[in-house]
Structure 1
Amino acid sequence: MTKLFLIPKPNPHATLRLFCFPYAGGAPNIFMPWLNKLPNNVELVLIQLPGRGARLMEAPHNKMSSIIDELMLHSSFITQKPNVFFGHSLGSRVAYELALTLQKNNLALPQKLIASGSRAPHLENHKTPIYHLPESEFITKLRELNGTPKEVLDNAELMELFLPLLRADFEIADCYQTEKHPLPVPIDVFFGHEDIDVTPPMINAWQALSALPITQHAFNGDHFFINSHSEQVIKAVSKLLNSL
């Protein structure tokens, strides 16, 4: 199996796969707490892009198109079983773009797309880009965003290792915008009550990307509620998986 997919607990009898796409700068291990808390018929598949985890020494992607190109090399595995896509923040937009590309290639689509903590990807990013800032300013912005562990930000050697990945991820997050194309896939949108970066109009805009009514789910916490309130998130995801 390619390093792109990390399957921490293989389940050959699974009838459904849950593909999880991490946020900018995030690694697959953010989903490890989910491992034994999902329905028994679900196999958890974590997306491990270059520059993190077992692929730490590989050059990271800095364009959405190159991420999708790599994923589509394995489209036969992705579409092998019924599946659901879950992404958080940038991961939501990767998941949507992958679903859109599968449709363009007449391949099986996910049964559901769970878009967590993200503006709809056809919206323009009105935030000032940070990926090209000088190192000290870039690190200051990362601290403000509160998604990179403090022990990493405070360790000069680790930051030297992770800066190329973080800059590449934020280049995609800052610059990527897709076409508005409604998919025949139900979309569930997760958001944090205290998330100042993802506003109600940005959440509502996901409706333009589904031919079916979207469903919104509010959680306690800020942009990284997926970490701070992971039990709530896991319960909600499990409920949606059981409904399929």
Structure 2
Amino acid sequence: MNTKLFVIPKPNPNAKLRLFCFPYAGGSPAIFMPWVGLLPNEVELVFVQFPGRGARMTETAYTDMQHKVDELLTHQAYITEKPFAFFGHSLGSRVIFETTKRLVALGAPLPVHLIASGSRAPHTNSNKTQTYHLPHDEFVAELLKLNGTPKELLEHKELMELLIPLLRADFQIAECYQAQPVSLPCPITVFHGYDDIEISAEQLHGWQDLSKHKIDIHYFNGGHFFINQCKEEVISQVNQVLRKIL
């Protein structure tokens, strides 16, 4: 696949299944690199890389959910050419929902499973105050509170000048996008951090409204970024889901 949108760290043309991984707001494919070599041999990992990060750092980041989905669907043939599943964390979870919803509308092949990690259900109201438009210092202070960006990076002024436009763009989508609820024919597994106090029980269980199947919810120690804090446990649980599919 000759495109910057997809990063395939270990190509596996004989794979039975592709797992497309979508990062959180401000995240890049690098957050999934520890997964390489730790999933079943029949699975090919594909990391999704939107404008503004990695090899696409010089491209302007999207500020609208539909633009992300539009770009993905220009590669619909590749995404759907063999059985596939979606994993998304935080904003990535909302992207995989919206993408799947569009695939349903197109009558296209659908993911065999969605793993929605660290996110409220996309159709539920956010309790958070919008921050993406705050002045620079206030925005950086909000990033520090989230505990998802290393403090050393936040204090590196030159690097932050490069990253702030991407972070603002991603946060604009994360804070402004709210889905129209649709009950998908795909099974959904939800990952949640015990200490993620920004997601209420109602927002978490709201994922049930979005699947015709009974959802599974798995809890992890840690806050919103348990995906980084509990890598081994997360990978183990992803493997359990995948083995049921294969």
TM-score (norm. length: structure 1): 0.99
Deviation (angstroms), 1:126: 2.2
Amino acid at match of 1:101: R
| Residue 44 (structure 1) aligns with | 45
| Residue 203 (structure 2) aligns with | 202
Moved over 2 A (4+): none
Deviation (angstroms), 1:200: 1.5
Amino acid at match of 1:84: A
For residues 149 and 237 of structure 1, the distance between their equivalents in structure 2, rounded to whole angstroms, comes to 25
| Residue 139 (structure 2) aligns with | 138
For residues 10 and 198 of structure 1, the distance between their equivalents in structure 2, rounded to whole angstroms, comes to 36
Given the alignment of the two structures, is residue 228 of structure 1 paired with residue 229 of structure 2, yes or no?
yes
Amino acid at match of 1:6: V
Post-superposition Cα deviations, 1:36-81, rounded to whole Å, max 9, x if no partner, equal: 1000000000000000000001000000010011001001111011
Deviates more, 1:142-151 or 1:61-70: 142-151
For residues 18 and 199 of structure 1, the distance between their equivalents in structure 2, rounded to whole angstroms, comes to 28
| Residue 20 (structure 2) aligns with | 19
| Residue 154 (structure 2) aligns with | 153
Deviation (angstroms), 1:25: 0.5
| Residue 98 (structure 1) aligns with | 99
For residues 199 and 176 of structure 1, the distance between their equivalents in structure 2, rounded to whole angstroms, comes to 18
Deviates more, 1:146-155 or 1:38-47: 146-155
Q: Percent identity?
A: 57
| Residue 214 (structure 2) aligns with | 213
| Residue 108 (structure 1) aligns with | 109
Amino acid at match of 1:63: D
TM-score (norm. length: structure 2): 0.98
For residues 139 and 202 of structure 1, the distance between their equivalents in structure 2, rounded to whole angstroms, comes to 26
For residues 235 and 43 of structure 2, the distance between their equivalents in structure 1, rounded to whole angstroms, comes to 13
Unaligned runs of 5+ in 1: none
Amino acid at match of 2:130: P
For residues 147 and 78 of structure 2, the distance between their equivalents in structure 1, rounded to whole angstroms, comes to 34
Question: Which secondary structure state, in structure 1, belongs to the residue aligned with residue 139 of structure 2?
Answer: helix
Question: Which secondary structure state, in structure 1, belongs to the residue aligned with residue 15 of structure 2?
Answer: coil
Deviation (angstroms), 1:152: 1.5
For residues 110 and 221 of structure 2, the distance between their equivalents in structure 1, rounded to whole angstroms, comes to 30
Question: Which secondary structure state, in structure 1, belongs to the residue aligned with residue 20 of structure 2?
Answer: strand
Deviates more, 1:194-203 or 1:157-166: 194-203
For residues 199 and 42 of structure 1, the distance between their equivalents in structure 2, rounded to whole angstroms, comes to 33
Question: Which secondary structure state, in structure 1, belongs to the residue aligned with residue 190 of structure 2?
Answer: strand
Question: Which secondary structure state, in structure 2, belongs to the residue aligned with residue 191 of structure 1?
Answer: strand
**Residues 16-95 of structure 1 correspond to what in structure 2 (within 5 A)?**
16-95=17-96
